[in-house]
Amino acid sequence: MSEARLITTYRHRLPVRVMHWINVVFLFALLMSGLQIFNAHPALYWGDASDFSSPALSLTGKPGPDGDLRGETQIGGHRFDTTGVLGVSQNVYGDPARRGFPMWSTIPGPRNLAQGRRWHFFFGWLFVINGLAYLLWSWRAKHLSHDLAPTRGDWRGIGKSLWDHMRFRHPTGIEATRYNVLQKLAYLLVVFVLASGIVLMGIAMSPHMNSVLGWMVDLVGGRQSARTLHFIIAFSFLAFIAVHVFMVLVSGPVNQMRSMITGRYRIRERPTAPLTKGDHVKE
Amino acid sequence: MSKNDRRRFLEMMALASGAALLGGCDRLDKSKSFRALLAMADAPTDFALHALTPENALAQEFTEADLSPVFRANGSINPQTPEYLAMAANGFANYRLRVHGLVRTPLSFSLGQIRALPSRSQITRHDCVEGWSCIGKWKGALLGKMLDLAGPKANARYVLFHCADSLNNDNHRYYESIYLSEAYHPQSILAYDMNDATLDIPHGAPLRVRLERKLGYKQAKYIVGIELAANLSGFGRGKGGYWEDRGYQWHGGI
C-alpha cells in the first residue's frame, strides 16, 4: 500500500452533480411538506375508501391514566407508545399536543395544511422537471447505458460485491471510479421504482386525474392504497438516503464529497503490484 | 485544534445548520413573496389537470357493495346561521334556490322544481383534502341543464355557489366556484338524495353540489344561490372560495 500513488480522476460529470444537489433540496422539501399534509389525517388505509374503524396505520393521541396525553402508533394489530414523537408531541407553545409527526419534521413546523400543500406541489413540479431532465440527459449522454446498466461481469460478481459490502471493504483503485453492481442496482431502483412510483402514486390520489387513470388506481388497489404506497415510498427514499449517506461516510467521506462537488476523485494506483486474489478488478 | 475539538465543532455546525435550515423554512413560509412564489405552481397544475383529461371524462363510479358504512361529514355539519335555522325549521318547505348573475333569465327554484329537473344517480368516491375517502351514492339535478334554463350570457366564465352556512359562525358564508365549462361535466349534479335517502343536514341538506373530479372542499353544501360571473374578484377575498381565501388551491383537483 505504501508505494501506491494517489492520482486524481474525474468521476461525476457536471449535470449529475448539479441535479444531485438540486434533488437533495427538493426531496427534503417534499418529504417534510408531505408529513405536514399527512398530519391533516394521520392514518393510512388499504382499498378505495377509508375504513375509519380499522386503519392500516394510525398516529393518535389519547389521555393516559394520569390525564396526560399519550401518543400511540398503531400498525396493523400492534400498538406502540410513541409519546413525544408520533401521535403526541410539542406544539408551538411547548405543550404536548395531538400531532401525527412532530414539528421538527414538517414544513411548515406548525400545523398548516394549506401551506404544506403549496410547498408540496411547488417542489413536486420541480422534482418532476429535474427527474425528467436527469432521465433525458442520462440517456443522451449514455450515463444510463455506460455507468448505470449492470454488465454481465457485474451480475457474475454480485455475490462478491455483497460480501465486500458486508465487510465494509471498498475499492480504492481504478475500480472505485465505476459504480459497483449494488450501487448500480440501488440507483436504478431509486430512479425507476421509487421516484417514478412516488410521482405516479401522487397523481393517483388526484380525483381529477382519476377520470383518466382509474385503471392505474385500480391496479394498486384503490385511492387509499395509492396514498399508503406514496407514504411507503417516501420512507423508502428516507431509508435509501440513510444507507447512501452511511456508505459515503464509511468509504472515504472527504473523497466522496469532493467527487460529488467538484467531480474529482482520488484513487490509489499500483501499476506494478501484481493482482492478488482479493482484488476487485473487472474481468 | 485537537481531533476531539474538531469533532465537537463539526457536530455543533451540523446541529446549528440543521436548526437554521428548519427555522429558515418556517421564516421562508412566512414571507409574502415566497408564498406568492409557491402559489405560482397552482396555475400549471390547473392547466395540466385540464390538458391531460378530456372535458367529459368521468370519475370512477362504484357499486352499492362499495358504499362506505360511515360517510364522514366534514366542515359545517350543523349550520347555525339565522337564515339556515329558519329554512330548516319547517323542513325546507320554503327553500328557494336563486340562479342569477350573468344569465339571460334569473330563476328561482323550489325543491320540488329541482327534483323535477333531469337527474343523475352516481356512486362515487369523495376525497377530502385531509387525505381520507368515502364512497357514497348521490342523486341530483344536472347542473348544466339547470343553467341552460337560465341561459348563461356569453361573458359568463365562472359558476359560484353561495351557501347558507358559516364555518366560523361569523358573517363569512361558505362559497365555492368552478369554471362554467365544469358545470356541464356529466357528473356535476345538485344532489338532494344521498344513499337513497333525502340528503341530511350534516351532508348538506337540502342541496349540495357534487363535482366528482374535485376534492371535498369544492363540494359546497347548503347551497341557496348559484351565480354566474365573469371573474372571481368581487366575492369573499377574491380567491373563489372559502378555503381558497385561506390558502387552498382553487382548482381543487389534486
| pLDDT tens figures, A121-131 | 999 999 999 99
- Of A84, A100, A116, which residue sits at a domain end? A100
Quote the number of domains for chain A. 2
Average pLDDT on A168-175 reads 85
Residues A92 and A116 occupy one common structural domain: no
Asked if residue A244 belongs to a domain, the reply is yes
Is the Cβ of B15 closer than 8 Å to some Cβ of chain A? Answer: no
Asked if residue A63 belongs to a domain, the reply is yes
Asked if residue A279 belongs to a domain, the reply is no
Residues A57 and A155 occupy one common structural domain: no
Q: What is the reported pLDDT for B1?
A: 52
Closest to A207 (Cβ–Cβ): which among B40, B130, B253? B253
Residues from chain B that touch A110, judged by Cβ atoms under 8 A, are: 26
Most A CBs within 10 A among B7, B17, B21, B26, hence the mutation to make, goes to B26
Q: Which pLDDT tens digit goes with each residue over B193-239?
A: 999 999 999 999 999 999 999 999 999 999 999 999 999 999 999 99
Residues A31 and A147 occupy one common structural domain: yes
Asked if residue A22 belongs to a domain, the reply is yes
A22 Cβ contact partners less than 8 Å away, ≥ 6 residues apart: A126, A130
Residues A86 and A181 occupy one common structural domain: no
CA separation for the pair B47, B147 (Å, rounded):
25
Asked if residue B222 belongs to a domain, the reply is yes
Is the Cβ of B25 closer than 8 Å to some Cβ of chain A? Answer: yes
Residues A72 and A111 occupy one common structural domain: no
Q: What is the reported pLDDT for A277?
A: 45
Is the Cβ of B212 closer than 8 Å to some Cβ of chain A? Answer: yes
Residues A35 and A92 occupy one common structural domain: no
Residues A149 and A246 occupy one common structural domain: yes
Angle at B70 between CA B66 and CA B76, to 5 degrees: 125
Nearest CA in chain A to B131: A41
Q: What is the reported pLDDT for A3?
A: 61
Closest to A52 (Cβ–Cβ): which among B60, B70, B247? B70
Is the Cβ of A40 closer than 8 Å to some Cβ of chain B? Answer: yes
Residues from chain B that touch A121, judged by Cβ atoms under 8 A, are: 41-42, 45, 249, 254
Residues A65 and A179 occupy one common structural domain: no
Q: Which pLDDT tens digit goes with each residue over B96-132?
A: 999 999 999 999 999 999 999 999 999 999 999 999 9
β-sheet bridge partners, residue B176:
B161
CB B150 within 8 A of CB B105: yes
A112 Cβ contact partners less than 8 Å away, ≥ 6 residues apart: A36, B29, B247
Q: Do A208 and B70 touch (CB under 8 A)?
A: no
**CATH for B231:** 3.90.420.10
Q: What is the reported pLDDT for A275?
A: 47
Nearest CA in chain B to A110: B26
Residues from chain B that touch A40, judged by Cβ atoms under 8 A, are: 129-131
Residues A85 and A111 occupy one common structural domain: no
Residues A56 and A174 occupy one common structural domain: no
CA separation for the pair B106, A206 (Å, rounded):
35
Q: What is the reported pLDDT for A278?
A: 44
Closest to A122 (Cβ–Cβ): which among B41, B66, B134? B41
Q: Is the pLDDT of residue B14 over 90?
A: no
Most A CBs within 10 A among B7, B29, B124, hence the mutation to make, goes to B29
The alpha carbon of residue A212 is apart from the nearest alpha carbon of chain B, in Å, by: 6
CA separation for the pair B131, A44 (Å, rounded):
9
Residues A242 and A152 occupy one common structural domain: yes
Name the nearest CA neighbour of B193 among B143, B109, B123: B123
The alpha carbon of residue A101 is apart from the nearest alpha carbon of chain B, in Å, by: 15
Instruction: Find the domain containing B98 and state its range.
Output: 60-246
**CATH for A140:** 1.20.950.20
Residues A151 and A175 occupy one common structural domain: yes
Q: Which pLDDT tens digit goes with each residue over A241-266?
A: 999 999 999 999 999 999 999 999 99
Higher pLDDT, A271 or A100: A100
CA separation for the pair A121, A115 (Å, rounded):
10
Residues from chain B that touch A211, judged by Cβ atoms under 8 A, are: 53-54, 57-60, 213
Instruction: Find the domain containing A63 and state its range.
Output: 52-100
Asked if residue A278 belongs to a domain, the reply is no
Integer angstrom CA distances of residue A250 from A9, A193, A253, B23:
20, 26, 7, 30
Most B CBs within 10 A among A48, A206, A208, hence the mutation to make, goes to A208
What is the rounded radius of gyration, in angstroms, for the C-alpha atoms of chain B?
23
Asked if residue A72 belongs to a domain, the reply is yes
Q: What is the reported pLDDT for A23?
A: 96
Q: What is the band of A279 on the pLDDT scale with cuts at 50, 70, 90?
A: very low
Joined grid coordinates for residue B36: 406568492
Calculate the average pLDDT of chain B. 94
Asked if residue B2 belongs to a domain, the reply is no
Q: Do A208 and B26 touch (CB under 8 A)?
A: no
Quote the number of domains for chain B. 1
